[in-house]
Amino acid sequence: MSKSCVQECLTTGLSCAKKDCRHYINYDGDMNCSIISADAHGPMTLEDVADRIGLSLVRVKQIEEAALVKLKKRMGPSFV
């Protein structure tokens, strides 16, 4: 999704219909766009994220933990 796509959604007031976009989420409350969601709400809880992407809170927590393990490997011992 490009910035023009986000701008188009905001200008028209219509939810994004581009399901092949990497930023698409099936959540009409945020116009189906993760960028619009992040801009509108700022930092969100894992529960908020789970609701938006349609996964359980436990699964989102597992994904977060796996991502942190990968970051620690890449950043080395200085990553806290």
pLDDT value of residue 41: 94
Question: What is the Cα gyration radius of the chain?
Answer: 15
Give the pTM.
Answer: 0.73
Buried b (16+ CB within 10 A) or exposed e, 54-70: eeeeeebeeeeeeeeee
pLDDT value of residue 1: 46
Residues of the chain with pLDDT > 90, as a percent, come to 61
pLDDT value of residue 80: 63
Residue 43 pLDDT more than 80? yes
